[in-house]
Amino acid sequence: MNQINDKSDEAWLTQVFREYELPLMGYATHLLGDADRASDVVQDTFVRLCKQPRQKVEDCVRQWLYRVCRNRAFDVLKKEQRMKTLSDAHAADQQSRESDPQVDAERCDDAGQAASLINDLPTRQQEVIRLKVQSGLSYREISELTGLSVSNVGYLLHVGLKSVRTRLAAIE
């Protein structure tokens, strides 16, 4: 039975992957704090999606992906409290290799500017902003995903954006 739909399923999955890869990675990276583990979680999410019957998830694929991604990320975080990963060592390695002064300089420079927009907002606000701005989820979807109420989602966004605007104004 899979044979018949294989082609279109494949195209559909590819399409979904293409569409959600970056937003999901952004979200997972935010939850987990580093891209490596985010990559694992996003991979796992998509691999799980591939195992779902298409008709079951097709209409709600966005919610599905975010839900699974979020749950997986929290699983990882939970596990992490028991088990120390190699990520620290990796991080150190990477630093030592990135010794191109120009790249370094740019990195610092840029981080000082762009990253400041969102990175030190409260986690909740960051999460909601990411889900709304980068991923385009509706308030309702965000509410279902995070367990926050719809009005709280709106409020967090509003407050978060206000801070961002203040920051933008300061840069100007």
Q: How many residues make up the chain in this entry?
A: 172
* SS3 assignment, position 24: helix
**Least distance CB 95 / another protein (angstroms):** 8
Please tell me whether residue 56 binds another protein under the rule CB under 8 A: no
Say how far apart CA 31 and CA 25 lie, in whole Å: 10
By CB under 8 A, what part of segment 8-37 binds another protein? 9-11, 13-15, 17-19, 21-23, 25-26, 29, 35-36
Q: What angle do CA 40, 43, 48 make, to 5 degrees?
A: 125
Q: Spell out the alpha helix ranges (H) of 58-149.
A: 61-82, 87-97, 101-113, 123-129, 139-146
Using CB under 8 A, list all residues that contact another protein: 2, 6, 9-11, 13-15, 17-19, 21-23, 25-26, 29, 35-36, 38-40, 42-43, 46-47, 50-51, 62, 90, 93-94, 97-100, 102-103, 105-107, 109-110, 113-115, 117-118, 129-130, 132-136, 138-139, 154-155, 157-158, 161-162, 164-165, 168, 171-172
